[in-house]
Amino acid sequence: MNSRFTEVFQLTTPIALAPMALASGGALACACARAGALGLLGGGYGELAWLQTQHALALQLLQDDAPALKRLGCGFITWKLDEDASALDWLLDQAHLPAALMLSFGDPRPYAERIAKRGVRLVCQIQRLEQLPMCLEAGAAVIVAQGAEAGGHGMNGLEGRATFSLVPELADALAAQSPSTMLLAAGGVADGRGLAAARILGADGVLMGTRLWASAESLAATGAVSAALQANGDETARSAVFDVLRRKNWPREFDFRALRNRLHMAWESRVDELRAAPDAARADYDAGVAAQDYARAHVTVGEAVGLLHDAPSAAVLIERITRQAEALIG
């Protein structure tokens, strides 16, 4: 399973942990790095105190493992950095520099120079071919091709692309425009079959979210993981419903995939109405979160949720997925 990606980042498997906000904490990033993958902390919305706590935890857990420490990175939501980049600046000021910084959902160019000055490799996640030029201008070392199958945030249903066609098209574009830039596939990859398929389609590796979200080290709520383990891929939907309910002011081109629960179904055809008068629905959602009632609270998973049947350690998952992919390709 060696690739340019494994060689450049000194990995033993071509897997990167998706930097999932409030799920990819220090313990999960550390577990992935120890298992030979690229462990990306979920810097998400740029909450400095959270990042400081989880970063310190990761460094503590990896203090006796120098190779794994070199596989620790972080990811941020780019449009939130446009509002406040203090968490990014703090991270770049630390003695331990991240192996990579991933930016998603916005223009990475305003942050490229400060990242490059510290010698950190830039990873840019995109959902459409038309987003590629700005990432190459920013000097991205890695492009992540995120299909609409992915859990959490991604391109809306009107403009989103499927992983299976987006990856080879981007592979061809990079071969022509920037052959040294690496490519990862994201969205719908949850086992060795997905990893093998991504490699065959031209990707150097994969960025994995949903599968590692349901792991022992994840910060995902136990009840949410239990709900996910009982679901299948038919039961997810992509909309702006949970962003409105959670008071997240996301740009209109992006929305959110999660389990299509009772509260989501009540509002998915009335999103504009929800935006105009959200108070009652937000109170219902807030009560659901407090009660850990996942008929109302969100469960952040992608279409690959139907491939989840357990929630073991990240090390077990990465070993299992890598060996299955090796057998298929071999």
CB atoms under 10 Å from CB of 233, counted, come to 15
Is the pLDDT reported for residue 188 higher than 90? yes
Is the pLDDT reported for residue 228 higher than 90? yes
Is the pLDDT reported for residue 132 higher than 90? yes
Mean pLDDT, range 219-240, rounded to an integer: 97
Mean pLDDT, range 180-201, rounded to an integer: 98
**217 residue type, one letter:** E
Q: pLDDT category, 265, cuts 50, 70, 90?
A: very high
Helix crossing, 314-329 with 26-34: angle to 10°? Answer: 40
What is the spatial distance between Cα 258 and Cα 237, in angstroms, rounded to a whole number? 6
Q: What is the rounded radius of gyration, in angstroms, for the C-alpha atoms of the chain?
A: 18
pLDDT in tens, 46-63: 899 999 999 999 999 999
pLDDT in tens, 300-311: 999 999 999 999
Mean pLDDT, range 101-124, rounded to an integer: 97
Full set of structural domains in the chain with CATH: 4-219+310-329 (3.20.20.70), 222-291 (no CATH)
pLDDT in tens, 137-168: 999 999 999 999 999 999 998 999 999 999 99
Is the pLDDT reported for residue 267 higher than 90? yes
- pLDDT at 81 (0 to 100): 96
pLDDT in tens, 1-50: 899 999 999 999 999 999 999 999 999 999 999 999 999 999 989 899 99
Is the pLDDT reported for residue 285 higher than 90? yes
pLDDT in tens, 80-111: 999 999 999 999 999 999 999 999 999 999 99
